[in-house]
Structure 1
Amino acid sequence: MVEVPLGDVATRDSGRAFSSIDRRNGRRVITVGMNVEPASATGRVLADIRGAVLPRLRADFPGLTWTFQGIQAEIRESTQAL
């Protein structure tokens, strides 16, 4: 894994904050999205997130859970159907 400054590989969109906290089943929920360029690198990016980033976050924040939605959820459902 190679570390690079976040500003070199990501952009941040500023906006107004909501005055409420999103919850699902009583737990706080945040949504994080990404657009990977080139799109062919999406698999590598997700593999790194699953293999390195999420385990470190769980170690730092016990009880943390996550789900992949959107296209990833569709791929998962299609694969399970096979």
Structure 2
Amino acid sequence: MTKTGKGGGRKTAPGKAAARRERNARPREGQRQHLTVAERIRGHFESLTRAERQLANTMLANYPVSGLGSITAVSESAGVSTPTVARMA
């Protein structure tokens, strides 16, 4: 059931909202929950482009600190373009 709140916005009934949160929180079939960034990079490494592999190697060598810099700093340290870093995000 949907209700209109004080501010005019729509609110979902508590039961439906809780069911939606639970459904969205469940891992999909064959999907592990709580993968680290390093695990995700390693899992997809073979399918990455040359520039993405170069970025992945730099990130893994300095993990987890390397992912905390700005997109520009990360791209410069890996020797790749900022769009490459954005694609990996």
Q: Which has the higher contact order (CA 8 A, sep 6+)?
A: 2
Please, what TM-score do these two structures have when normalized by structure 1? 0.23
Question: Whose radius of gyration is greater, 1 or 2?
Answer: 2
